[in-house]
């Protein structure tokens, strides 16, 4: 497993912070408990030297070094597909399991690193997909294009459609059934890192159409008219039909935190949640663009697969009944 050394210089506004608070503050999705574990394991050092402990007060100009062991950071570059390219942006088909941006534990297996190493260019990511969500992703070639595309996304001038395979609790969905989910969202997390969404005050609208059912599963086509974090995943979970494989909104925060910390967890399947960004269209420089991406083989295999217990050896279904 690869090791990575991160270094941070303490700034004036960070003077007097606890060491564990500083690390959690500087590193995205890195909790204080994770920082404590790293400190106690001897993975953190400080210059000028002094013995480190979680409560150590740091000062302006201190240099903090963190040596990390990178888990699950094997690049999936050969699975990335270039769907389209022009002078302003690339359009990629991102595989499930590949992050868009680096995180506390992932550096190489990201779309930004892919563009840097495989194309030799600086990436300007306009929008994002969750690590386990596959599908269409636009990456701008410069900051000016990025800002203009970002405005298109913010003003809802970009049409996005997703495919999802869900647990069809109590036979709610049938082919042709449609539903508009209008549940305001906000941060609801208790465990760190606090990324879980729930009922809140931010307007969120999701349109859902069922195109097929098979056994206990339903295949949904989904349009979103807002762009809240985890919107599709949390809306479907809140209405009792979660996406299959969603470790956060199915198993809960404690399970997900253990999973992120590489602690032993109960078995789960499928290993990636079954959500795919299948269609995207926009108008750019007076030209209409439209891209499609076929859903991954895993989604189709699970949807058309055998009985529930074949895929879910952990009494997965009891979570929804």
Tell me if 98 sits within 8 A of 133, measured CB to CB: no
The alpha carbons of the chain give a radius of gyration, in whole angstroms, of 21
Is residue 169 helix, strand or coil? helix
> Which helix H or strand E contains 247, and what residues bound it?
helix 247-251
What is the DSSP code string of 74-110? ---GGG-EEEEE-SSEEEEEEPTT-BSS--SS-SSSB
Q: Is the peptide bond before 48 cis (omega within 30 degrees of 0)?
A: yes
- 3-state SS, residue 201: coil
Structure token digits, residue 284 = 């750019």
Residue 243 structure tokens: 């996406």
- Concerning whether 130 is annotated as a catalytic residue, the answer is yes
Alpha helices for 50-188 (secondary structure H)? 111-114, 143-154
Positive or negative CA dihedral for 31, 33, 37, 40?
Answer: positive
Catalytic residue among 20, 73, 130, 246: 130
Q: Strand pairing of 185-187 and 197-199?
A: antiparallel
Q: Which residues are catalytic?
A: 130
């Amino acid at each position: 497993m690869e090791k990575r050394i991160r270094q941070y210089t303490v700034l004036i506004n960070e003077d007097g912070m606890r060491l564990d608070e500083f690390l959690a503050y500087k590193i995205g999705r890195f909790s204080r408990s994770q920082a404590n574990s790293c400190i106690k394991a001897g993975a953190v050092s400080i210059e000028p030297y002094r013995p480190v402990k979680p409560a150590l007060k740091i000062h302006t100009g201190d240099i903090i070094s963190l040596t990390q062991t990178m888990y699950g950071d094997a690049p999936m570059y050969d699975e990335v597909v270039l769907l389209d390219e022009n002078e302003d942006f690339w359009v990629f088909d991102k595989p499930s399991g590949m992050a868009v941006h680096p995180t506390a534990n992932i550096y190489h297996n990201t779309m930004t690193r892919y563009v840097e190493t495989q194309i030799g260019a600086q990436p300007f990511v306009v929008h994002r997909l969750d690590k386990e969500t596959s599908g269409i992703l636009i990456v701008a070639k410069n900051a000016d294009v990025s800002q203009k595309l970002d405005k298109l996304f913010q003003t809802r001038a970009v049409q996005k459609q997703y495919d999802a395979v869900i647990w069809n609790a109590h036979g709610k969905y049938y082919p042709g059934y449609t539903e508009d989910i209008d549940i305001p969202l906000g941060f609801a997390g208790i465990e760190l890192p606090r990324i879980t969404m729930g009922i809140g005050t931010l307007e969120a609208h999701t349109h859902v159409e069922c195109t097929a059912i098979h056994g206990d599963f339903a295949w949904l086509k989904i349009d979103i008219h807002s762009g809240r974090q985890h919107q599709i995943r949390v809306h479907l979970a809140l209405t009792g039909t979660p996406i299959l494989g969603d470790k956060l909104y199915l198993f809960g925060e404690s399970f997900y935190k253990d999973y992120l910390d590489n602690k032993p967890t109960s078995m789960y399947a499928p290993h990636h949640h079954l959500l795919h960004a299948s269609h995207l269209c926009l108008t750019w420089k007076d030209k209409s663009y439209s891209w499609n991406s076929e859903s991954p083989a895993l989604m189709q295999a699970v949807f058309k697969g055998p009985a529930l217990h074949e895929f879910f050896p952990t009494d997965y279904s009891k979570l929804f009944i």
